[in-house]
Amino acid sequence: MSNQKKQISIKPIETILPMANTNHADVMEEHHQLSESISLQKKELATIQEQQQMRIEEANNQIKEARNQWETEKQKWIEEAQQQGFQKGYEDGNQEAYQQYENKLKEANHIIDIAKEDYHQTLEKHTESIVEISMSVANKVLQQALKEQPSYIMELVTAALEDVKAQPCITIIIHPDYYGEVHSHQEELQRLVGDETKLSIHADALVQPTDCIIRHPHGQVETSIDTQLEKIREALMEYVMEDVQ
């Protein structure tokens, strides 16, 4: 059984969720709190890992001690049986020593199983906590970016158009608040889809401000900030769980 420690690696949140160009005090405070929370969670995970390693080492020592004790008891019963000339005494003594050894092994293995279970349960809890805090901040940052930089909606539109460029006609449907921003880039969007595609832009108050719908003859593509958040969630899970087994 290897005693090598597995290192827990948690990347800085800035590598996953760059701050938007905003001076909004609430978002900055949330970002600061997030960084502190992740730092604390990282320290707690390291402590849990150390405690788990100690419990496993203790169990391994018990296994070693039980093995040595069994060998000692076994030898003692062999000698006594030989001296007394009773085969049954040897067999009974050997069986008793072996049973004690088995009990020690079961106890030690139980300690190892409990240590691993506690470790992974606690790790899962801390991981969920880190991700949920991060997602809360990510949502506020993206929402604020959209308010202060309407051009951000263009990133959603162009990303969605990449999947439907080879269509004869395409309709972009967005919330009225961002119609002017998208319409001002119509020539750029037309170049993106190609001159052979008929491109139109419609405003619809029923569409969420954070959403964009791309309709074409064979269906539609929907993209939104929620889509971006899901990508961030996946990245967070990958980074937070990196190197953790």
What residue type is 235 in one-letter code?
A: A
- Is 64 strand, coil or helix? helix
Superfamily of domain 152-223: ATP synthase, E subunit, C-terminal (3.30.2320.30)
- Measured in whole angstroms, the distance separating CA 115 from the mean position of its chain's CA atoms is 21
Sequence ranges of the domains in the chain:
13-149, 152-223
Q: What are the pLDDT digits (tens) for 84-100?
A: 555 555 555 556 666 66
Are 58 and 49 in contact by the 8 Å Cβ rule? The answer is: no
pLDDT digits (tens, 9 = 90+) for 190-199: 998 888 899 9
Phi and psi torsions of 200, nearest 5°? -135, 155
If one counts every other C-beta atom within 10 angstroms of the C-beta of residue 123, the result is 20
Report the Cα 59 to chain-centroid distance in Å.
30
Tokens 């899962």 found at:
124
Which region, left, alpha or beta, applies to residue 18 given φ > 0 means left and ψ of -120 to 50 means alpha? Answer: beta
pLDDT at res. 47: 75
Report the pLDDT value the prediction gives residue 22, as an integer from 0 to 100.
45
| pTM tops 0.75, yes or no | no
Helix (H, G, I), strand (E, B) or coil at 89: helix
Tens of pLDDT along the chain (245 residues)? 444 433 334 444 444 444 444 445 555 566 566 666 666 766 776 777 677 777 777 767 776 776 677 667 666 665 665 565 555 555 555 566 666 666 666 666 666 666 666 666 666 665 666 666 566 665 665 666 666 666 777 888 888 888 787 889 999 998 898 888 889 999 999 998 888 899 999 999 998 887 888 999 988 888 877 766 666 666 666 665 554 44
pLDDT in tens, 192-235: 888 889 999 999 999 888 788 899 998 888 887 776 666 666 66
Q: For 206, list phi and psi in degrees, rounded to 5.
A: -80, -15
The per-residue pLDDT for 15 is: 44
